[in-house]
Structures are given as structure tokens and as C-alpha cells.
Amino acid sequence: MKIEVLFPEYCNLFADSSNVKYLQQCLPLAEFIFTNYLSEPAFVTEKVDLIYIGAMTEDMQERVIKKLMPYKDCIKKLIEDNVTFLVTSNAIEIFGDYIENEDGSRIEALGIFNFYAKRDMMNRFNCLFRGTFEDMTIVGFKTQFTFAYSEDFKHPFIKVDKGTGMNPDTGTEGIHYKNFFGTYVIGPLLTLNPYFTRYLLKTIGVEDPKLAFEDVIIDAYDRRLKEFLDPKCNYY
């Protein structure tokens, strides 16, 4: 089993690199490929089971888009072929149509999904987050300078219960299409949500997933969920 981590030297904000560290604990026999920015992605020439990319600076977003643009068709095919993608925080914006700056200028993105992001660099938005995916409650945090917009978010990931979706007027968060999972939610996502982590492991072919430190991580999830369900919990 191969898991490719794209550009870890740059795409590592908000401690979301811990998603990968936790996967390494859960999958000690898997091969992890850490693709640096100057290298060709392994997914171009090798079969990989999971591709991960996390949060980065706004300047790096533009560079990553330029880096991945020649592989746009390859990425589309991998998604259609049910290769699993986990994309967290502002990395999700790379897969939209464009990113709009405050002055109206646009950074063209990969255009794989029909949405765009709009920046407001003078105002960072933060909130706690709670929502549902299938029969699972997803918890986490959001911190971002952008909101995402679309005429129709055709492939929602999480139904929002508390906190904010792709923008304040949208009741869904993230993109879920086939085995592509993209979300602004951080935390890190996998360590905060053990049941989703188990679900994700099944999508990459692990028949009987074993979570690292399972008792501890589920206990922590239960405690956090109890806190997030408290009516007194302030999400903003």
C-alpha cells in the first residue's frame, strides 16, 4: 500500500501534518512517499492508494497550482478511478475553479470542482465545527481567510450542525466525490475523528482497520463530542 504526501515541506500549517503521522501509526507496513515541491508526483507514474495534501500559505497556493496544472488530467482520472484523496484546509481551493483576491484579480485553479474561493486577508475567520457524514459526527476547527462559493455545491461532504459551511449561507462543508474528501475542517481531522479515520482506511483497501491508540483516541473523541454537544458551547 502506497500513500503519497504532496509537498510536506510547505503544506504543513495548523499541525495538519499530524494527519499523516497518525496514518503512519495506523499503517506501519504501508509505504509513505513524501513528494517535495521540486519532484514529479509519484501518482504520475506509480499506483498510489491515497494522496494527501494539507494547509499552506496563500503564496504557496499559487505555486502548488502551477506545479499541479500539468497533471490536471491525471488527477481527474485518478479521482474518477476511485483513488482516495484527503485534502484539508485551504488546499481544497486548489481543486476549484479559481481563487479571487480582494482587488478582484483571480488565480486560476485546477477547475476539477465547480466552486471558487474569495479571500479577505484582513479578516481571519475562526470557529468550532460539528457536522454529520453518513452516520458519523465530525468535529474539528476552522481557521481561514476565505469562503467558498458555488451556484450548486453538487458534492457536499459534511452536513453542518454547528459552525459554518463552505460560506456562512451554506449548510454543507467540503467536497465528497467518489473517494475524494476535501474539507476546510482541521484539527487534525483524522486524530479528532477516529470513526471517519476507520472509514477512510476502508476506502484504501484496509479490510479490518486497526486504529493506533484506539481506546485513547475514541475516549478523547467522546469527551470532545460531549463538549461540542453542550448547549453552552460557543462555536464562534
C-beta separation of 138 from 196 below 8 A = yes
What confidence tens digit (pLDDT) does each residue in 145-204 have? 999 999 989 999 999 999 999 999 999 999 999 999 999 999 999 999 999 999 999 999
Quote the pLDDT of residue 30: 97
Residue 124 C-alpha cell reads as 481571519
Quote the pLDDT of residue 39: 97
Quote the pLDDT of residue 15: 86
The 3-state DSSP class for residue 127 equals: strand
Quote the pLDDT of residue 129: 98
The 3-state DSSP class for residue 227 equals: helix
What confidence tens digit (pLDDT) does each residue in 60-106 have? 999 999 999 999 999 999 999 999 999 999 999 999 999 999 999 99
Task: Return the DSSP state at 148.
Answer: E
In degrees to the nearest 10, what's the CA dihedral of 76, 167, 103, 10?
A: -50
What are the CB-based long-range contacts (under 8 Å, 24+) for 209-214?
Answer: 209/26, 210/26, 211/26, 212/22, 212/25, 212/26, 213/25
Mean pLDDT, to the nearest integer, of 201-218? 96
What confidence tens digit (pLDDT) does each residue in 8-48 have? 999 999 988 999 999 999 999 999 999 999 999 999 999 99
Quote the pLDDT of residue 227: 96
